[in-house]
Structure 1
Amino acid sequence: MEQETFPEELADALVGVQRLIRRRLRREMPAPQLRGAEVELLRLVVDRPGIGISDAARELYLAGNSVSTLVNQLARQGYLVRETDPADRRAARLMPTPAAEARLSEWRERRADLVRDQTARLDEADLETLAAAIPALRRLADNLGEEP
């Protein structure tokens, strides 16, 4: 692979894998169907219960009004609860419901099963290459997540 095409090819490969995983899981998951941004917000709230909308927007690189819209949708579906922040009565803290935790747990299990099944189809050299790339991909994600 030429150095000048590497960034584009890497980004395309990562997006392709993520898109296909999401599509396969979406088909298998029970209704209601959740979009990628909804799943990302649920994951964040389950991992950081009590996070505020503005902090969630910063973490997800989304506008605050976009996160508010997602919160409203997920709350209507029974996955999120808004609680008033005791330190600032104007602010809301987001809490996952048991349904959200169960849905995300099922999604994570199905994702692991899907990736396990598909990586089992690869040869040993490809598996070793993918395993060796994980630390570098995590550092890349950390770099991308840093504020400029």
Structure 2
Amino acid sequence: MKTSYREYLKLNKNLIISFLVALIASATVAQLFSEEESYVNSSYTVIVDFTVFYSSFSILFYIDNRKRYRLPDGKTDNNQLKKDLVKIISSLGVGEIIYMATRWYLQYYFLTLEYEPYIASTIAHLASTLVYMIAVNLSVKFTRLYKHDA
């Protein structure tokens, strides 16, 4: 398998695992704040979702890529690391803007329809994740994050 495909698979694996961890945390928070107004519940849930997702993703991404930036002498290839960090941050940033707007709106919408908070959170999370995954993968392709590995 080409190295770039393997890198895409690792990236997507890390995104999915991070989303699952964030899904559990945000559904729990949504239920804990079930007595709050819909906009407050949606806002708290998105904040927890964002925090848990990026914490999980950062750890997983580091674990999968720590050897990628090692030079033969054991030092870090800081130039390549900086270039790739800019690419991954911009790719995730584009996806995150789309994700957060979609996530907040869908959860708010489902809460106003009187769905249970954890169900509203779960549905909004899953739908937004699909949109996010498409946006991030297109952004990573556009920024050519894995071009130097091909």
TM-score of the alignment, normalized to the shorter chain, above 0.5: no
In proportion to residue count, which structure has more helix?
2
TM-score (structure 1 length as normaliser): 0.32
TM-score (structure 2 length as normaliser): 0.31
Determine which structure has greater relative contact order: mean sequence separation of CA pairs < 8 Å that are 6+ residues apart, divided by chain length.
2
